[in-house]
Chain A
Amino acid sequence: MTTDPLDALRLPVVPVDPRPEFTAALLRRIDGHGDLVDDEPITFRYFVTDLDAAVAFYRDLLGFEEELRPSPVFAMLYRGDLRLLLSVPGGHGAGDALPDGSVPTPGGWNRIALRIGDLDRTVAELRGKGVRFRTDITTGITVRQVLLHDPAGNLVELFEPGGGYHERTRGGTIG
């Protein structure tokens, strides 16, 4: 073993703040999924029967903004970083029948869950505007939540965080 003569000139290793969130985000990024695209809006698609009624519902009652409505069978809305695609079954594109002949329909149980500051007030307000709810407010695990119907029968979950609520904290530096 030879000693590197430059060792004497090297600066001492200075301990730095580990910034765990930054490190975790960096490691996640290095760790794989390089083919998956980050920094994009989160996209969710609902099927609806009446596009005008659906756009009005998500825009006027749930705070989405209409971004595009290029055809009578498709609309794109935004609510912060959530991009909502509304497709009419049987239309071109995502509304098309599958190879096995099945045609998409509204409904089912999979859904977006929107975080609300004051669930009681929001529910009272939405009830006043004629929104149909599938449940009353229930207390789940660390959240209070409620399920409402859109005009096509899709479910949307509204929730208000309670004690023990968990959400991954983001450093804000990456991602």
Chain B
Amino acid sequence: MSTVTVRYFVTDLDVAVAFYRDLLGFEEELRPSPVFAMLYRGDLRLLLSVPGGQGGGAPMPDGELPAPGGWNRIALQVDDLPATVDELRGKGARFRNDITTGIGVRQILIQDPSGNVTELFEPLAAYHERSSNAR
């Protein structure tokens, strides 16, 4: 497996790091400044940037600032979605919806403290993933 990198924007870095670390199983790898942190969950590398900071959070050439939110997101596979959701609800996590049944999966959207969503999914019959020896 090679590293896959994703960037999310967050308003409060401490709160965001705690959320991804304590609720979603990420490990804090680096926090070199008050506006940037790097976390890992397996081979997923999550970059958290505070809008307005240097680097990934810097304003665009036209002055527009990045912001948290939107709909594009990481999707994390879990073994037992209802159990995971119960556990996370017990820890105070906010969800955008209830568990829904999609195509080949059931899934739910968890919301981080900045308003970003992350999808949690559990494979069902007809779930498709490229088999590893085909990679």
Contacts and interface: CB of A to CB of B under 8 A. Distances in A.
A132 to B, nearest CB: 13
A110 B3 contact: no
B128 A68 contact: yes
A110 B8 contact: yes
Contact of B76 (A36, A82, A157): A36
Interface in A111-148: 111-115, 134-136, 138, 140-141, 143, 145, 147
Contacts of A168: 3, 29, 40, 45
A143 B119 CA distance: 28
A39 B100 CA distance: 25
A96 to B, nearest CB: 7
A139 B84 CA distance: 40
A170 B30 CA distance: 16
Contacts of A93: 100, 102-103
B73 A45 contact: yes
Given A109-B68, A109-B70, A136-B61, A98 B36 contact: no
Interface residues of A, number: 65
Contacts of A135: 60-61
Interface string B69-88: 11111111111100110000
Contacts of A89: 71
A4 interface: no
A42 B7 contact: no
Interface of B: 1-9, 25, 27, 29-30, 32-33, 36, 38, 40-45, 47, 54-56, 58, 60-61, 66-80, 83-84, 96-98, 100, 102-103, 107, 109, 116, 119, 121, 128-130, 132, 135
10 contacts: A35-B79, A42-B74, A44-B4, A67-B128, A81-B1, A89-B71, A94-B119, A107-B70, A110-B7, A111-B6
